[in-house]
Amino acid sequence: MSRNKQSDEKESSADNVDEYLQTLGNDDAREIRYYSQEQPFSSEDMTRLINEERLNKLLAQSDDFLSSLNGEIKDFDE
């Protein structure tokens, strides 16, 4: 193992948390950190990544849930 790899492994999650907390008070550093984590996706990437069948099932489930909830709220009001 090289010396650099060993020093990288010694950086703990506590070090990462400490670095993050230090940026909280600095709006510019926080903004840079936030935008540096963004990854642009093309429409082709999104099409490849999204399981359209599963998405449609989830949307149908959420519609059913909201309809049911709406019915319960109406019953509660009466």
Give the integer Cα–Cα distance in Å for 66 and 60.
10
Q: Are 60 and 66 in contact (CB under 8 A)?
A: no
- 1 within domain boundaries: no
CA distances from residue 19 to 37, 38, 42, 52 in whole angstroms, order as listed:
15, 19, 31, 39
pLDDT at 62: 94
- 6 within domain boundaries: no
- 53 within domain boundaries: yes
Per-position b or e across 33-49, b if 16+ CB within 10 A of its CB: eeeeeeeeeeeeeeeee
The number of distinct structural domains making up the chain is 1
Which tens digit of pLDDT belongs to each residue from 56-78? 999 999 999 999 998 888 877 66
Which tens digit of pLDDT belongs to each residue from 3-43? 444 445 567 787 777 777 776 767 776 677 666 666 777 88
- 57 within domain boundaries: yes
3-state secondary structure of 30: helix
Give the integer Cα–Cα distance in Å for 74 and 67.
11
- 52 within domain boundaries: yes
pLDDT at 78: 62
What domain range includes position 23? 13-77
